[in-house]
Amino acid sequence: MNTNAAVSINADVKVTGILNMVKGKVRTSVNQIHITNRNASAVVADATNPNFINGWVDGRVRREIQTIDSVYNFPVGSATTSNNMEFFNHNITGTSTIQARFGSKPGSDAGLNVMEKGTMYAKVQDGGVWYLEPNDTVATGNFDLRLWFHNQSAFVTGLVDNGFSILNRPSTSILATDWRIPPVNSTYVAGVVSNGYADRKAIKGYGQYGIGQTMYPVGTKTVASNGMVNINPNPYHDKFSVSMTLPTAMNVKISIFDQAGRLVKLMDAGTQAGNASVDVQAADLSEGTYTVVISGNGVNLNTTKLIRINR
């Protein structure tokens, strides 16, 4: 495709050969461009269109995929922005067809509660979200994703290196409480803002994807400047206590995550100041290892491994 104008289609279009994108946009509305050629190279960006920055599809792209290691481009975007999705297929079975699209982010960030390597996410960027909708779930294998935001201001505002990654929720969701680390036990990749994209490896679940922004670079802590926090006993059986020495009055929340990063318990401890102690009843959790995040006024105070044991 090579045009200075946007081209609209009023029915599904099948591409049996190669889709070569040079310049311009294709608007599909409720229709789709369906590439039936299973070769990963069936969608090509011209040399003058690196990463589909000058030519893309404003709408739906459906691709047939093979069970081999290969990289499939889904050159989607909005009416004004290109937001290509790269799908790194690692010998997937079960899924043979995938439809991708890009759209505005539904809902707000109210209730967002996701943790990565002891660091809480503060928001999901407002630039938009990507959708991956398959004909069937992944049976074996997995995939990596690379989501391109090309340094668009709605994406990069507030981002810092090693402070963002890809989050996932069901396709139809508008709830911030549904955001999670993409299943199953996918791998965090430290993002570099100037690269213009976010990565996530070893994913097995589809749905809606956004770029989450963490409160501070992943793996760092700010305990020293915000007060001292201790948890006892650890291991615990039915309850544990959180002891705090806070420099100022803070609205304290205690979040407990399982090993997959899912929030399993959230306690609002209210306003605490100075030397304070809060008891947490947690006998309902299964025996095992958890991560406890203590936050005050939305800032991480402490991240601790916690073990529950049965007597």
Structural domains in the chain, sorted by start: 7-214 (no CATH), 223-308 (2.60.40.1930)
Tell me whether strands 7-8 and 24-35 are parallel, antiparallel or unpaired. parallel
Q: Which run of H or E residues covers position 225?
A: helix 223-226
CA 294 to chain centre: 22
End-to-end Cα, the chain, rounded Å? 68
Q: Which residues pair with 26 in a beta bridge?
A: 7, 57
- Provide φ and ψ at 42, rounded to 5°: -75, -15
Secondary structure (3-state) at 279: strand
Place of tokens 């203590």: 294
**23 and 4 in contact (C-beta within 8 Å)?**
yes
pLDDT for the residue numbered 261? 75
The pTM of the full predicted model, rounded to 2 decimals, is 0.76
pLDDT for the residue numbered 274? 86
Which one-letter DSSP state was computed for residue 17? S
- The residue count of the chain comes to 311
**304 and 264 in contact (C-beta within 8 Å)?**
no
- CB within 8 Å of 213: residues ≥ 6 apart: 121, 122, 123, 124, 125, 158, 159, 163, 164
**6 and 26 in contact (C-beta within 8 Å)?**
yes
Q: Please tell me the distance from the alpha carbon of residue 87 to that of residue 38, in angstroms, as a whole number.
A: 13
pLDDT for the residue numbered 4? 66
pLDDT for the residue numbered 211? 97
Q: Please tell me the distance from the alpha carbon of residue 57 to that of residue 8, in angstroms, as a whole number.
A: 10
- The pLDDT profile of the chain, 311 residues, written as one tens digit per residue, is 566 678 999 999 999 999 999 999 999 999 999 999 999 999 999 999 999 999 999 999 999 999 999 999 999 999 999 999 999 999 999 999 999 999 999 999 887 888 887 777 889 999 999 999 999 999 999 999 999 999 899 999 889 999 999 999 999 999 998 999 999 879 999 999 999 999 999 999 999 999 999 877 886 644 334 457 888 999 999 999 999 888 788 889 999 988 777 789 999 999 998 888 999 999 999 999 998 888 888 777 777 889 999 87
- Number of CB atoms found within 10 A of residue 87's CB: 21
pLDDT for the residue numbered 1? 58
